[in-house]
């Protein structure tokens, strides 16, 4: 759109809704390119990321996240740090024949850009289908972080966080790029608070995993990560299987955090993570592909994790690899984005519609305001024409877990809505559907 007039400048169709392709992410403009990815991992689509010309919207390049190296744009400049991520055409050989064509691995979250290294960074979603026994192999490049040159889309490095995902642990979460000292050395870091419950710290120039610690203590699908190999030490009894119920897996498929973004403060050196403490029972089931329809193969029931609470705002020290403080939400997961300001104030919202401000250094509550609906949006701040600072947030419950608040979704079946009803029973008493923009002024 023309920002001054509101007139349409151009529009370009990128996906086929008949196949289940949609676009739910916010594009990122890098130089003269618009970078955007697709959604639809639960409908058997093939994940991609594209660059369009800002001027007229024509597609400059397309990079797939499954398939042969030519499609994934893996060439001579690709230098994966770990041997497990090296090899020819891994996007084909790590899948059963032709399953990579239905392999999900979509880019429906966030893209970051480092202008000095001239690299974009993004995470990829879960592999299709959810039942892992229907797709033996590592399933490259699902659940991965990938670095690419935005000029031509060529891959510089890739790190697969979880091979052969068995829990729907999309890793499309934000990649926060910071320059800071790490173990006594200045490093160009990438901070990735994973859906899997681990806080990943990587060297964003090389793709080396420097740290991987649990930011949600209930996480039990793995004990930790071997930094020499970049692989998790999985708990075998938490692997999901075809025809058997695996119980008490933490986190649930909604993750130890969802797509809503964390915030980093260079003043405190802390990352503020909107975390979840929700667990699940999971059974792999049969699935058949029909274009444009759900392609899942799982029966899931979710419930509050150990301790009974479901949400926590976690203040995390990435240099030390530990939690500094946390603010727990006894009822619901924290499903809003986070805002950290230079005044050492952190803003976030809750699913019952409370907008909160806490001290960035110790988490003590400074202020709160009850809005009309659950908050799943991201707060933002700006300076008005009067010179005053404003903070704004959108209130309007929704999203995967928030859908249970709508009248059309019954709370009778805990397996409904892919299992989130079991975790969100009672939300209708605390939050009604709605939509309003709230703007607050600093006095």
Catalytic residues: 42, 126, 168
Q: State the residue for tokens 């946390």.
A: 326
Distance CA(309)–CA(313), nearest Å, equals: 12
Residue 297 gets which letter from DSSP?
-
Write the CB contacts of 20 (distance below 8 Å, at least 6 apart in sequence): 40, 42, 43, 44, 45, 291, 292, 293, 295
Distance CA(391)–CA(230), nearest Å, equals: 40
Contact 213, 234 (CB under 8 A): no
Write the CB contacts of 178 (distance below 8 Å, at least 6 apart in sequence): 189, 191, 264, 266, 318
Contact 172, 196 (CB under 8 A): no
Other beta carbons within 10 Å of 287: 18
Contact 105, 63 (CB under 8 A): no
Distance CA(62)–CA(48), nearest Å, equals: 7
Structure tokens that stand for 273 in this block: 């993570």
Closest CA to 71 of 43, 54, 95, 42: 95
């Amino acid at each position: 759109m023309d920002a001054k007039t509101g007139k349409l400048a151009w529009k370009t169709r990128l996906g086929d809704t008949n196949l289940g392709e949609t676009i739910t992410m916010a594009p990122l403009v890098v130089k003269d390119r618009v970078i955007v990815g697709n959604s639809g991992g639960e409908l058997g689509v093939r994940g991609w990321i594209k660059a369009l010309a800002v001027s007229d919207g024509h597609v400059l390049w397309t990079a797939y996240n499954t398939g042969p190296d030519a499609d994934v744009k893996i060439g001579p400049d690709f230098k994966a740090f770990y041997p497990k991520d090296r090899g020819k055409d891994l996007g084909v050989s790590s899948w059963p024949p032709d399953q990579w064509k239905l392999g999900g691995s979509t880019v429906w979250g966030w893209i970051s850009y480092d202008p000095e290294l001239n690299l974009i960074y993004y995470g990829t979603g879960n592999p299709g289908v959810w039942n892992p026994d229907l797709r033996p192999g590592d399933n490259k490049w699902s659940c991965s972080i990938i670095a690419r040159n935005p000029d031509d889309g060529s891959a510089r490095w890739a790190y697969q966080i979880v091979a052969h995902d068995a829990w729907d642990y999309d890793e499309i979460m934000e990649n926060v790029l910071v320059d800071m000292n790490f173990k006594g050395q200045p490093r160009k870091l990438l901070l990735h608070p994973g859906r899997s419950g681990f806080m990943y710290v990587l060297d964003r120039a090389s793709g080396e995993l420097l740290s991987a610690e649990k930011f949600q203590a209930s996480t039990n699908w793995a004990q930790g990560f071997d930094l020499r190999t970049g692989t998790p030490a999985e708990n075998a009894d938490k692997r999901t299987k075809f025809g058997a119920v695996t119980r008490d897996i933490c986190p649930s498929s909604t993750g130890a955090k969802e797509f809503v973004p964390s915030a980093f403060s260079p003043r405190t050196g802390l990352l503020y993570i909107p975390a979840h403490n929700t667990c699940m029972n999971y059974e792999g089931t049969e699935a058949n592909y029909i274009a444009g329809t759900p392609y899942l193969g799982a029966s899931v029931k979710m419930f509050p994790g150990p301790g009974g609470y479901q949400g926590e705002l976690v203040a995390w020290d990435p240099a030390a690899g530990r939690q500094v403080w946390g603010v727990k939400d006894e009822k619901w997961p924290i499903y809003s984005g986070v805002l950290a300001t230079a005044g050492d104030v952190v803003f976030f919202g809750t699913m019952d519609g409370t907008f909160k401000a806490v001290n960035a250094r110790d988490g003590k509550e400074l202020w709160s305001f009850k809005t009309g609906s659950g908050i799943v949006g991201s707060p933002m701040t700006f300076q008005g024409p009067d010179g005053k600072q404003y903070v704004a947030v959108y209130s309007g419950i929704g999203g995967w877990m928030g859908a249970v608040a709508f009248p059309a979704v019954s709370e009778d079946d805990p397996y409904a809505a892919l299992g989130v009803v079991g975790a969100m029973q009672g939300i209708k008493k605390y939050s009604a559907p709605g939509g309003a923009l709230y703007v607050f002024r600093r006095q």
